Structure formats: structure tokens, C-alpha cells
Amino acid sequence: MNKEWSEKNTEIQKLLGKESTYKDGIDLLINFRNELFEQITFIVNGFPREAFSRMPFAGTDGYHSMTLAYSIWHIFRIEDIAAHTLINNDEQILFTNDFLKNIGSPIITTGNELQGEDIAEFSEKLDINSLYEYAKAVMLSTNDILTKLEYPQLKRRFSDSDKDRLISSECVSTDENAEWLIDYWCGKDVRGLIKMPFCRHWIMHIEAMQRIKNKLCKIARKGVDPVAYCGFSCNHCFLGEWCGSCRTEYNTCSFATCFPDKKCPNVTCCKEKGFDGCYECAEIESCHKGFYIEGNDGANAAKAQAVFIKKYGKKAFLKAHDKLHEKYDFSKTQEILGQDMYEGLKLFEDTYSDNG
């Protein structure tokens, strides 16, 4: 488990255990959930539709053997059911605002009963944007429930009537891989549900989603030109492990994701002009489009690299980068290159010259 997330989870559970600190625990939990949800937002906004039904770890043990779409569905169906059918005894979010219809899901269960290819086939049927909106609505609804809980309510245990209500909802499959959830949830108190479905369960599945997306990006980048349109080297970028590069459909470059269409202006410009990259443009040194916009921290560094490629080619560029990264890490390299475009270019030229 992610060390930072694990430590936050431990602190939250500690705070929830005492009446004098449980409110602080709730506040910390909600902030943590918002932080975790940003990971889901990043994936939904940055990845192509096909990514959500792919299973790069199919056949292995663990949550990462599922799909991105299934993971989102599963996390928030469990939370929706636990929060509304058990804790609040009211209508689940899935059955409001046409969420079920818009998502297109053939099931209303948690999905625990699905195995192997069934998961991929299920995932292909889902409308990802609607699924995301549903997940967000569930999170906000649960956050609202959490803020209204008083400490004595955290100790409330679930009765036989609560269990019967859960069973009659038919939101938990009778399959052996799913029906255990009923006894598991009903055997806990409210605080127990907060600990698992509303927190730790998120951590486990979102970590799995990160592994899935990173693997998909690695697959996408295989055999693809490692030089980005703007002049950056994907092989040396800190995003390299979880970005598929701007030359694939798995482009999650932090700059590209700032735009509604998720397309970097430099990529668009190069494609319109038929350029392999900005380094083929005669206006590169004076350009202020896209990533080169004045004030952007990485503009000078990217432009210095693009100009170097224009003069010496990609092979020399990657060779110089390898040598440069033997001396500095990515952050320090970009800091040095970014101070001035021409100073950055000179550093590259000196490094390449030293490399022979």
C-alpha cells in the first residue's frame, strides 16, 4: 500500500476512535477522499475509452487484474449501498437522476460475481463519463452523510431488519463471490464501514487502477518515438512511467490535460503543418505557442531541447540526455536548462561534445 496513503488511513482511524477527535477524523477523511478522487479524475480525463475495458494483468491475483471501468463501478457501488441502504436507510444514488440508464450497466450489484472476460465485457458496456458523474455524486453524498454523524452513531450496529433490507434490494449478488458481503457489512458498526468501504477500500482499488494505467502506458509507448513534439524526451521525463506520450492515444502529459480536448497546442500545430515536431519549424526560437508560452516554467527547457534536435538530430539529443542525467536528476536538469534557452542549448552542446 502507498506509504503516504497508509499513514493517512492509520491517522484517520485513530482519530475516529475517540469522541474528542472523531470530528477531526471525519474532516481528514473527507479531505483524503477528495485527494484520492483526483486520481480517478485524472484517469477519466486523460485516457482513451478503450483503456477502461482493457485488462493488462488478466489472470493474475489482485485488484489490478480488473479493468479501470470495473474498479470505478465496484468502489462506488459498494459505497452507495453501504451508505444509503445500510447507514442512511434511503434511496441509493444509482437510482436517482437516471444514473443507471445513462451508465448503461446491465447489473445493479457490486460486480463481485464477475470473473475474467465477464469483467471486460461488462466494462465495454459502460458510458465512462456517466460512470464518473455517478462516482462523484456518491462521493459527495457520502461526504455529506459523514459530516452529519454524531459520535454515538459510529457505534451503531446493524439489525436483522437492516440485513433483510440489504438482501431485498438485490444489490448484492447471491453468487458465492459476492454474498459474503452481506454478513461482512452487517457484522460491523458504522465506524467499521467508514474504515473499509469509505477509505481503505478506495486505497486498494485506486492503487490497482494506477498499476493498470501505468501498464497500459508502457504498452502504448513500446516502439514509439521517445521524443515529444515539443522537444522533451519521454525517456527522461518524470511522467514517463505513467504517460503514454503525446504520440499515442494514452497521452497524459500534464500540459495536455490542461486543455478541454486534452490536446497540446504544439501537437496540434505540428500535425497541421505536417511536422514531426516543433524542431522542424523555422520559427522555433521565437515561438510562444502552447508549451512555449511565456511564463511557463518548462518553456525554455523544452525550446532548448527542440533547437538542439533541429541542429544535431534526435539520436544525438537522446545520447546527450543520457549523459546529462548521469549528472543530474530530472528536476535539476529542467531547472538548469530552463534558466535561459541559449544557455540550455549550450549545456546540451557541451554535454554532447564531452560525450564524444
pLDDT (tens digit per residue) in 11-25: 999 999 999 999 999
Which amino acid, one-letter code, is at 204? M
pLDDT digits (tens, 9 = 90+) for 267-305: 999 999 999 999 999 999 999 999 898 888 788 888 999
Tell me how many degrees the CA angle 229-44-62 measures, rounded to the nearest 5.
110
Show the DSSP H helices in 149-290 as ranges. 151-154, 160-168, 180-186, 190-195, 201-221, 265-273
Find out whether 171 and 110 touch, Cβ atoms under 8 Å. Answer: yes
- Three-state DSSP class for residue 48: coil
pLDDT-based confidence at residue 355 (cuts at 50, 70, 90): low
For the chain, the straight-line distance linking the first and the last C-alpha, in angstroms and rounded, comes to 45
Q: What is 284-331 written as a DSSP string?
A: GGG--SGGG-TT-TTHHHHHHHHHHHHHH-HHHHHHHHHHHHHHS-HH
Stated length of the chain:
356
pLDDT digits (tens, 9 = 90+) for 194-237: 999 999 999 999 999 999 999 999 999 999 999 999 998 988 88
- Three-state DSSP class for residue 351: helix
Mean pLDDT of 146-151: 97
CA–CA separation, 216 and 56 (whole Å): 7
Task: Work out the percent of the chain whose per-residue pLDDT is above 70.
Answer: 99
Mean pLDDT of 129-134: 98
Which residue segments constitute the domains of the chain, with CATH numbers given?
Answer: 3-221 (1.20.120.450), 256-354 (no CATH)
Mean pLDDT of 121-131: 98
pLDDT for 356: 54
Taking the model in full, what pTM does it have?
A: 0.89
pLDDT-based confidence at residue 108 (cuts at 50, 70, 90): very high
What nine digits make up the cell of 42? Answer: 485524472
Residue 258: pLDDT over 90: no
Q: What is 14-44 written as a DSSP string?
A: HHHTSTTTHHHHHHHHHHHHHHHHHHHHHHH
Positive or negative: CA dihedral 319, 219, 61, 10: positive
